[in-house]
Amino acid sequence: MSPQTGRPTVEDVLARPIEARRGEGSRWARALRELGAVDRAVFDAVFRTPTAELDGPVRRLSQSANGSALWLGIGAAIALTGGSRGRRAAFEGVVSVAVTAAAVNLGAKSVVERRRPDRRGLRLLAARHLRTPESTSFPSGHAATSFAFAYGVSRHIPLLALPLGLLAGAVAYSRVHTGVHYPGDVAVGSIAGAGTAAMVAAVIDRLRTAGRRFVSERPSVRRARRSRRRSRSG
**Residue 18: predicted pLDDT:** 72
Residue 155 in any domain: the answer is yes
Residue 124 in any domain: the answer is yes
CB 137, CB 117: distance < 8 Å: yes
CB 196, CB 103: distance < 8 Å: yes
Coil, helix or strand at residue 180: coil
The whole domain housing 67 covers 50-233
What global pTM score does this model have? 0.81
Residue 75 in any domain: the answer is yes
DSSP code for 25? T
Residue 58 in any domain: the answer is yes
What Cα–Cα distance (Å) separates residue 183 from each residue in 127, 129, 159? 20, 17, 28
Residue 2 in any domain: the answer is no
Name which residue leads in pLDDT, 15 or 68: 68
Name which residue leads in pLDDT, 77 or 138: 77
Q: Which of 28-42, 57-71, 133-147, 212-226 has the lowest mean pLDDT?
A: 212-226
Residue 56 in any domain: the answer is yes
Residue 62 in any domain: the answer is yes
- pLDDT tens digits for range 193-233: 999 999 999 999 898 887 777 666 556 555 666 666 666 65
Coil, helix or strand at residue 9: coil
The count of domains in the chain is 1
Asked if the model's pLDDT at residue 25 lies above 60, the reply is yes
Measured distance CA(85)–CA(75) in Å, rounded: 12
The CATH number of the domain holding residue 156 is: 1.20.144
CB 56, CB 66: distance < 8 Å: no
With cut-offs at 50, 70 and 90, classify the pLDDT of residue 4. very low
- pLDDT tens digits for range 125-171: 667 777 878 888 889 999 999 999 999 999 999 999 999 999 999 99
Residues 6 or more apart whose CB falls under 8 angstroms from that of 52 comprise 127
Asked if the model's pLDDT at residue 101 lies above 60, the reply is yes
Residue 27 in any domain: the answer is no
